[in-house]
Copies of this chain bind each other. A is one copy, B any other.
Amino acid sequence: MKLGEGVEAAIHCAAMLAGVEGNSTMSGAAMAEAFGLSPSYLLKHLNQLTTAGILESVSGPAGGYRLARPAERITLLDIVLAVEGREPAFRCGEIRQRGPVKLDAKAYVKPCGINAAMLKAERAYRAALAEAKLSDIVADFMNHADPRTVAASCAFVERHQRPQKVQQPSKRER
């Protein structure tokens, strides 16, 4: 019953990416710097999010990551499952069948009651996580956190986000 440290980093990065505008990106190195993490290791987790379809990555100069869909449609459950794996935490090893008392398989068609109880609890856990949308996290941060923290975060995003080349070659885009 222990979540990896990468989950925290992944959520923070996703929340930060929710602040970049349009289809701009932010490099993994910038986010690693923002949170004082090892850049190479953070990429590993960001890659997991990309594989899960939560983030999009673009290579090359001015590349980086961006949300693959609006923050309203990303939940904490999505992120946790992407980083920690989709299988449930409690895996019933059916140890009740492993003893010397061997009955035929028909005696074990009923699922183990212990397993059922554990899975029920985990469903509650996941349901609570599915309620928490990334946009809610960001909104709560914007409204209730210390204003200076909010300002600092927004400034960091503004400073490090990289606009992507678009088809329309707007001349006076700084």
Report A's interface with B, CB cutoff 8 A. Answer: 1-5, 7-9, 11-12, 15, 33-37, 76, 80, 84-85, 89-93, 95-96, 98-101, 103, 106-110, 113-114, 117-118, 120-122, 124-129, 132, 137, 140-141, 144-146, 148-149, 152-153, 156
Contact = CB atoms under 8 A, between A and B. Distances in A.
A89 B2 contact: yes
A114 to B, nearest CB: 5
A140 B124 contact: no
The 10 closest A-B pairs by CB, nearest first: A36-B98, A121-B128, A125-B125, A1-B84, A35-B95, A107-B146, A124-B128, A117-B132, A34-B99, A113-B140
B15 A95 contact: no
A109 to B, nearest CB: 8
Contacts of A76: 114, 117-118, 121
A82 to B, nearest CB: 11
A141 B125 CA distance: 25
A99 to B, nearest CB: 4
B37 A95 contact: yes
A103 to B, nearest CB: 6
A8 B93 contact: yes
A106 B149 CA distance: 10
A125 B77 CA distance: 14
Given A101-B156, A140-B113, A3 B145 contact: no
A85 to B, nearest CB: 7
Given A3-B89, A89-B1, A149 B107 contact: yes
Given A106-B146, A121-B125, 16 more contacts: A1-B3, A2-B85, A3-B90, A8-B92, A8-B93, A12-B96, A34-B99, A35-B98, A36-B98, A36-B100, A76-B117, A76-B118, A103-B149, A117-B129, A124-B125, A124-B127
